[in-house]
Chains A and B, each alone.
Chain A
């Protein structure tokens, strides 16, 4: 029972490089989310997708793009990484009934 799976677990980028963080869930949830977590800041929402085919900006969307590939998969892309994007990124999914969020293990990204 995998739940929410994120890849990769760790990544080091140089400033200006691009990369895509992958997320997949096997719980048939409609909604998916991308958060970043910085020390002392809690989680901040980057983008979310309320259902397949829709995406919306969260609190801190600048510098990121997302794709809801299908109901299972929601990817986060950094087109030109900056040191300010050094963070831990979490993907989550939820159903519409209770809106309890299920989180992946996170991706630790360092941008040098």
Chain B
């Protein structure tokens, strides 16, 4: 069974718009991470948010975490064509291993 589930499965936006992706999980976590995967490539770590944090920023990325709802969101502001990729959330469950969701495919149209 998968711990993280991203929503939506696919998202198409225009360049300059904001993109929001959501992740829900089922059990207690130590931290939650977001990764990006460009087509045909390995995953690249974007940002980590710990269970005692509610919001974190990194450049154009903003991540929120609501442990009471067991959910997280990733906001990409002022999106660019180069942001076109699949985005995955992964939960780290206190020393048990990561569980990745199926991902959100983001297309940013020029």
Using a CB–CB distance below 8 Å, which chain A residues touch chain B? 4, 33, 35, 40-45, 48, 58, 90, 92, 98-106
Contact = CB atoms under 8 A, between A and B. Distances in A.
Interface in B8-61: 30-31, 33, 35, 40-45, 48
B92 A105 contact: no
Given A99-B92, A100-B48, A45 B98 contact: yes
Contacts, number: 50
Interface residues of B, number: 23
22 contacts: A4-B42, A35-B100, A42-B2, A42-B88, A43-B100, A45-B99, A48-B97, A58-B97, A92-B42, A98-B48, A99-B31, A100-B33, A100-B48, A101-B33, A101-B35, A101-B43, A101-B45, A101-B90, A102-B45, A103-B42, A104-B42, A106-B40
Given A42-B88, A42-B103, A98-B48, A90 B97 contact: no
